[in-house]
Amino acid sequence: MIKVGIIGGAGYTAGELIRLLLNHPQAEICFVQSNSQGGLQVSDVHTDLIGDTDLVFDTKPEMNQVDVLFLCMGHGRSKDFVHGLPSNYKGKIIDLSHDFRLNEAAEGFVYGLPECNREQIKQSNRIANPGCFATSIQLALLPLAAIRKLSEVHVHAITGSTGAGQAASDTTHFSWRNNNVSVYKSFSHQHLGEIGETVLQLQPDFKEAINFVPMRGNYPRGIMASVYMDCDLSEETANELFADYYNDHPFVVMTTKNPDLKQVVNTNKAILFVKKYGTKLHIVSLIDNLLKGASGQAIQNMNLLFGLDEATGLRLKPVAF
């Protein structure tokens, strides 16, 4: 059994990690750390876990009792935590924050997008889990970048309220979010950096813009990214390209029918829909922001780190209705 510790256990991504790990056949949770919830039962905070676990939040766990640490702290805090780890800590680390995703800040962390870096992930001890928008958008771009067919990219993408984290704010307040949609961080979202680095990894001469307009949706979870660009491939050739690229990646599903978010919510799937309109190639990419966009992908990376089938513990039923 893989012995697991979770640091920063009170938020949405940690709650999803705990849910997945409790049902993972090869993992055992040794502790869930939280400074703010110390002494409380985990199911008092993550109420969907009532009856599933008697775990109690720990404030000062023993790090060396685990094989892997999942870091679920806010952006900017993971780096301080890693730098403060005991020098004798020998376990692996999977960080779900932004702190180690970019090359200039990586400090030995491998960018954990299995559909691009699977072999590097298998050989690593430290993984920077990708961002949720970044995951959805990159999956729409990887096959084209791999054959150097990317041109200027245009993206409109919408995410659920859980993408903003658990801390309350004006834009997550029910009265504001319900029956409402808004644009934010146009052309400046923090995930553009990691998207750009991955594209350059596959298409080193890419110099065009990736124009990204993110939107807040009036629902809890799920990302739909609408991605388009000029492309001289036919629709048939583009679909064959995507199918070939993702042939041995278990969570990317190609469809010929216009998809919807309920097909991915509560799963680690990414669904891709590719169509051609005149000179424009249009890719619709859907994921659950808390699973394939965060905790599910983190478990996928854990499976790869420990030599398991990467789908272990991640065959989940979508909400559907």
d(C-alpha 105, C-alpha 189), whole Å: 18
The tens digit of pLDDT for each residue in 144-172 reads 999 999 999 999 999 999 876 666 677 87
How far from 121 is each of 68, 93, 117, 239, 249, CA to CA, in Å? 14, 12, 6, 27, 14
Which runs of consecutive H residues, i.e. helices, occur in the chain? 12-22, 42-45, 78-83, 114-122, 132-146, 174-177, 192-202, 235-245, 296-305
In this structure, what are the phi and psi dihedrals at residue 224, rounded to the nearest 5 degrees? -120, 120
d(C-alpha 201, C-alpha 52), whole Å: 42
State the pLDDT at residue 166.
66
The tens digit of pLDDT for each residue in 170-229 reads 787 788 888 999 999 999 999 999 999 999 999 999 999 999 999 999 999 999 999 999
d(C-alpha 261, C-alpha 223), whole Å: 7
45's tokens: 């905070």
Residue 129's nearest CA partner among 268, 308, 285 is 268
Cβ proximity of 5 and 31 under 8 Å: yes
Look up the CATH superfamily of 132-289: Dihydrodipicolinate Reductase; domain 2 (3.30.360.10)
Cβ proximity of 105 and 76 under 8 Å: no
Look up the CATH superfamily of 2-129+292-305: NAD(P)-binding Rossmann-like Domain (3.40.50.720)
pLDDT at 143 over 90: yes
The 3-state secondary structure of 113-148, one letter per residue: CHHHHHHHHHCCCEEECCCHHHHHHHHHHHHHHHCC
| Mean pLDDT of the region 249-270 | 97
What residues are labeled active site? 132
Cβ proximity of 246 and 254 under 8 Å: yes
State the pLDDT at residue 172.
77
Mean pLDDT across the chain:
96
State the pLDDT at residue 167.
67
75's tokens: 């952006």
Q: In what order do the strands lie in the sheet with 252-255?
A: 182-183, 210-216, 153-159, 223-230, 280-287, 270-277, 252-255
Cβ proximity of 37 and 46 under 8 Å: no
| Mean pLDDT of the region 274-300 | 98
Residue 276, SS3 per DSSP: strand
State the pLDDT at residue 165.
67
Q: Which residue pairs, CB below 8 angstroms and at least 24 apart, start in 189-193? A: 189/133, 189/214, 190/98, 190/131, 191/131, 191/132, 191/133, 191/134, 191/137, 193/101, 193/102
- CA quadruple 170, 99, 33, 35: dihedral, nearest 10: -50
DSSP label of 293: I
State the pLDDT at residue 261.
97
Q: Tell me whether domains 2-129+292-305 and 132-289 share a fold.
A: no
Question: 226 exposed, middle or buried (CB, 10 Å; 0-12, 13-18, 19+)?
Answer: middle
State the pLDDT at residue 168.
67
Residue 7's nearest CA partner among 101, 70, 94, 89 is 70
pLDDT at 309 over 80: yes
Cβ neighbours of 23 (radius 10 Å): 12
How far from 24 is each of 1, 29, 64, 93, 253, CA to CA, in Å? 10, 10, 21, 18, 23
pLDDT at 70 over 80: yes
Cβ proximity of 158 and 180 under 8 Å: no
The domain limits of the chain are 2-129+292-305, 132-289
Percentage of residues in the chain having pLDDT higher than 70: 98
